[in-house]
């Protein structure tokens, strides 16, 4: 992805406007040459193309160096697209003016430093370094641009030190070799897509006019050396191409001549240039850096050569190479067939090398013989010197032995005397040490005895605490079981009594109804036997009336019986329930008082009743009339509010400011004047201020005018944290 950045950006860390519609983006870089981005962007409704103005920056990916900044220099708007040409950010300083400079027998890094120092204006943001330690001389006599001094031609810093420039945004470095031989092979049958080989004899040089100019110490004028050197291949061309070279480092004609010959021997400037430009498919994970040596094989073109990558074209959208260009001078491999001129040059070169090898072999043998002769002479002289040294050393050794013998005898005598004296002192020290050891053993025994006593006391204290806790738990359990038994018995008795009364009432009512029905039946039968036919209807009517009256009377009797018995039963149940409630309250109070007597740590008592807020002894109040917002859930009291007014939770004794009327703490009545007590609470803050205080005070009999704070209070604020934590204050009860 490419991004458009503001013209003043100095880093690639930030992304700008994504250029997601770009149809083409190609990066071209040539070793020690141009570094250019060409971009094609369509004209669409997004309007992004309108932002592609001159001097804006584009961040684009490149091989190896990753994202680089390119400054737009030439935007060309066409019918349906915009063509952009942008140069690497390093081009910003290439036109800076540099004053004349002089570097004599120094490394490339020193030359770069002086170039920066001689700049007429500060070269901000950019840095220059080099790893080339070879020393050369470099001079300029007039103002030039930074590009001319750094890159232009052989008489430049890179030309003089024969370096390779690496441009990484604002960091510039001149390296001896930018690339390496990574074993990359490009072949016709695998990843070679297209092939173009260009040979050119236009740049061949067969004669050099070399010049060196320098001023020796104490001289008034410069010394100028000149030499003419012809190429070994000068007779193989139908023409002579000449060129001027300057090397001010050479101080003699011989040095200048050897340097000029090296141009032919090592740089091959007298050979026909051989330039390859290829396009490659995917390199199967192989990396090619600019400056790398790459092996190129083509059976069709009968080549097997190793060449240096000097340029590339790179697709910044797909992040793949488009093409690679390799240097002019190749090392011919097994299948390579060069031109006739190149073959002849190689033959002459090989003959020259063979002649030099013969001379060199003879020189080496001669040097070996001279070395052997000189070595034997020195060896004999060294042997004689060693014998002389041995004789002198023996005399000296004898004298030293005699002197040492005398000194050893005296030292032995002194040693024996000191040994006797030290033995006596040692015996005295041993006697004292034995006495000290006895005292130490006695102290150790006493310490162990004291430790045993302390351990026994601690064990007894722990046992007493355990027994107290067990006894308290037993009392609580016994009292609870007795209470539950009494409640169950009272409930059973009340239910049985109610059932008995209801059954008794039902039996009486059933007996009365049965007796009434029997009388009615008898009366009806008697009437039927005595009555005449004419009196039957009237008799039946009277019987029906009597039955109705009897039913009404029976219902009234039943209602009276039920109401009377029901009222009695209800009264008894109410009395029983009241007695049970009173008994339960008394038992609850006894259980709470028993719990308060259980120590939470050995040797102390908890006077804060209703510690889990379940009995309603604690009362909430606040310092304003806003809505109170507090709650107690599972023994946790939570309070919140929207104002800064105080909010408090209090427990009172029976003699406190409320003067009774509500549930009060009985334990607080047992506090004694002059005794020391500790208030403890576990608090955490959920949000807002975490400040709070603890206080033990006497509010007086009826109001707060006579309030006495025993200890604590708002002048001893504490601040809670986000985690549960216990806070405590300790004080003594005052006389009021």
pLDDT digits (tens, 9 = 90+) for 513-539: 566 556 555 555 554 444 444 444 554
DSSP 628: P
Q: Give the mean model confidence (pLDDT) for residues 195-224.
A: 85
Residue 708 in contact with residue 736, Cβ under 8 Å?
A: yes
Average pLDDT over residues 576-580: 58
pLDDT of 602: 37
pLDDT for position 83: 96
* 208, part of any domain: no
pLDDT at 29: 95
Confidence band, pLDDT 50/70/90 cuts, at residue 331? very low
Q: Which residue has the tokens 């030292």?
A: 411
pLDDT number for residue 339: 30
Backbone angles phi, psi at 318, to 5 degrees: -95, -10
Residue 587 has what pLDDT?
A: 56
Q: Is the pLDDT of residue 221 over 50?
A: yes
In this predicted structure, what is the pLDDT of residue 166?
94
Does residue 306 fall inside a structural domain? no
Considering the domain boundaries, does residue 310 fall inside one? Answer: no
Residue 366 has pLDDT above 60, yes or no: no
Residue 102's pLDDT band (cuts 50, 70, 90): very high
**pLDDT-based confidence at 146, cuts 50/70/90?**
very high
The pLDDT assigned to 553 comes to: 56
User: What is the predicted pLDDT for the residue at 359?
Assistant: 34
Which value, in Å, is the radius of gyration of the alpha carbons in the chain?
59
pLDDT for 365? 40
57/19 Cα distance (integer angstroms): 12
On the question of pLDDT at 342 being above 50, the answer is no
Distance CA 269, CA 207 (A): 10
User: Which pTM does this prediction carry?
Assistant: 0.41
Helices (H), 323-339: none
Residue 559: predicted pLDDT: 59
- Closest by CA to 697, choosing from 661, 729, 662, is 729
Rounded CA-CA distance 393/385 in Å is 12
pLDDT > 70: percent of the chain: 69
**279 pLDDT tier (thresholds 50, 70, 90):** low
Task: Answer yes or no: is pLDDT of 119 > 70.
Answer: yes
Is pLDDT of 173 > 80?
yes
**Choice among 133-142, 212-221, 323-332 with the minimum mean pLDDT:** 323-332
Residue 655 lies in a domain: yes
pLDDT class for 334, splitting at 50, 70, 90? very low
pLDDT band at 373 (very low <50, low <70, confident <90, very high): very low
Higher pLDDT, 734 or 434: 734
| % of the chain at pLDDT higher than 90 | 26
**Among 34, 65, 93, residue at a domain's last position:** 93
204: helix, strand or coil: coil
Tell me the per-residue pLDDT of 669-722, one tens digit each, with 9 for 90 and over.
778 888 898 989 999 999 888 888 998 887 654 455 567 778 888 788 899 999
Q: Which of 156-165, 367-376, 589-598 has the highest mean pLDDT?
A: 156-165
Domain count, the chain: 2
Tell whether 74 is covered by a domain.
yes
How far apart are the C-alpha atoms of 241 and 205, rounded to whole Å?
A: 5
* Six-digit token string for 605: 């008592």
Residue 582 confidence (pLDDT) above 70: no
Task: Identify which of 174, 255, 146, 240 has the alpha carbon closest to the alpha carbon of residue 210.
Answer: 255
pLDDT of residue 19: 94
Q: Could you write out the DSSP letters of every residue in 114-128?
A: HHHHTBSS---S-EE
Give 337's DSSP letter: -
Query: Has residue 351 got a pLDDT over 50?
Result: no
Q: Is residue 312 part of a domain?
A: no
Most confident of 87-91, 304-308, 319-323, 535-539: 87-91
Give domain status of residue 691, yes or no.
Answer: yes
- Last residue of a domain, which of 93, 112, 135? 93
β strands within 646-692, DSSP E? 647-651, 676-683, 691-692
Task: Judge whether residue 643 has pLDDT over 90.
Answer: no
Domain boundary among 73, 93, 113: 93
Whether the per-residue pLDDT at 478 is higher than 80: the answer is: no
Q: Tell me what pLDDT residue 185 has.
A: 78
* Out of 61-75, 96-110, 526-540, least confident range: 526-540
Q: Does residue 639 fall inside a structural domain?
A: yes
Which residue range is the domain that position 24 belongs to?
Answer: 3-93
Query: Whole-number mean pLDDT of the chain?
Result: 76
């Amino acid at each position: 992805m490419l991004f458009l950045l503001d013209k003043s950006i100095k880093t690639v860390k930030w992304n700008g406007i994504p250029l997601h519609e770009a149809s083409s983006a190609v990066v071209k870089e040539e070793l020690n040459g141009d570094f250019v981005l060409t971009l094609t962007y369509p004209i669409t409704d997004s309007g992004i193309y309108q932002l592609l103005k001159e001097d804006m920056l584009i961040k684009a990916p490149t091989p190896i160096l990753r994202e680089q900044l390119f400054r737009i220099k030439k935007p060309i708007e066409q019918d349906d697209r915009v063509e952009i040409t942008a140069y690497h950010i390093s081009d910003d300083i290439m036109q800076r003016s540099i004053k004349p400079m002089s570097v004599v027998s120094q490394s490339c890094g020193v030359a770069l430093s002086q170039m920066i120092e001689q700049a007429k204006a500060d070269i901000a943001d950019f840095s220059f370094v080099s790893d080339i330690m070879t020393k050369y001389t470099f001079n300029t006599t007039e103002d030039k641009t930074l590009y001319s001094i750094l890159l232009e031609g052989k008489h430049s810093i890179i030309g003089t030190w024969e370096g390779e420039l690496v441009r990484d945004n604002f960091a510039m470095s001149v390296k001896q070799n930018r690339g390496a031989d990574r074993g990359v092979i490009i072949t016709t049958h695998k990843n070679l897509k297209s092939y173009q080989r260009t040979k050119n004899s236009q740049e061949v040089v067969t004669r050099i006019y070399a010049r060196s100019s320098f001023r020796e110490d104490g001289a008034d004028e410069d010394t100028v050396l000149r030499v003419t050197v012809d190429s070994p291949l000068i007779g193989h061309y139908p023409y002579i191409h000449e060129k001027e070279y300057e090397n001010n480092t050479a101080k003699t004609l011989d040095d200048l001549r050897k340097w000029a010959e090296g141009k032919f021997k090592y740089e091959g400037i007298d050979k026909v240039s051989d330039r390859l430009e290829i396009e490659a498919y995917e390199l199967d994970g192989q990396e090619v850096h600019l400056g790398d040596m790459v092996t190129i094989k083509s059976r069709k073109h009968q080549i097997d050569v190793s060449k240096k990558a000097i340029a590339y074209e790179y697709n910044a959208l797909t992040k793949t190479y488009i093409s690679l260009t390799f240097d002019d001078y190749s090392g011919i491999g097994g299948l390579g067939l060069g031109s006739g001129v190149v073959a002849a040059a190689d033959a002459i070169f090989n003959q020259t090398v063979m002649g030099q090898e013969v001379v060199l072999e003879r020189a080496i043998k001669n040097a070996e013989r001279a070395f052997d002769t000189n070595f034997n002479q020195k060896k004999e002289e060294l042997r004689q010197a060693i014998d002389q040294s041995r004789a002198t050393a023996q005399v000296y050794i004898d004298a030293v032995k005699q002197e040492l013998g005398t000194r050893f005898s005296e030292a032995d005598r002194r040693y024996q005397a000191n040994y006797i004296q030290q033995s006596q002192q040692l015996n005295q020290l041993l006697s004292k040490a034995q006495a000290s050891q006895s005292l130490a053993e006695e102290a150790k025994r006493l310490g162990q005895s004291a430790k045993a006593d302390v351990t026994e006391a601690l064990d007894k204290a722990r046992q007493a605490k355990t027994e107290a806790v067990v006894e308290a738990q037993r009392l609580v359990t016994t009292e609870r079981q007795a209470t539950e038994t009494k409640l169950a018995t009272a409930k059973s008795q009340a239910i049985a009594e109610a059932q008995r009364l209801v059954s008794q009432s039902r039996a009486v009512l059933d007996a009365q109804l049965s007796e009434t029905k029997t009388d009615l039946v008898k009366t009806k039968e008697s009437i039927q036997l005595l009555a005449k036919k004419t009196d039957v209807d009237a008799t039946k009517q009277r019987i029906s009336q009597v039955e109705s009256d009897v039913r009404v009377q029976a219902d009234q009797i039943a209602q009276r019986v039920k109401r009377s018995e029901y009222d009695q039963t209800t009264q008894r149940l109410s009395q029983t329930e009241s007695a049970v409630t009173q008994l339960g309250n008394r038992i609850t109070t006894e259980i709470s008082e028993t719990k308060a007597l259980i120590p939470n740590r050995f040797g102390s008592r908890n006077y804060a009743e209703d510690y889990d807020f379940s009995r309603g002894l604690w009362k909430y109040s606040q310092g304003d009339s806003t809505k109170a917002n507090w709650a107690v859930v599972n023994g946790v009291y939570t309070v919140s509010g929207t104002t800064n007014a105080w909010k408090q939770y209090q427990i009172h004794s029976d003699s406190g400011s409320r003067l009774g009327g509500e549930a009060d703490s009985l334990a607080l009545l047992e506090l004694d004047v002059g005794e020391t007590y500790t208030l403890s609470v576990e608090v955490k803050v959920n949000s807002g201020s975490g400040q709070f205080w603890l206080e033990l005070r006497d509010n007086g009999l009826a109001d707060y005018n006579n309030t006495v704070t025993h200890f604590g209070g708002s002048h001893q604020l504490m601040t809670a944290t986000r985690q549960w934590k216990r806070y405590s204050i300790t004080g003594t009860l005052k006389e009021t």
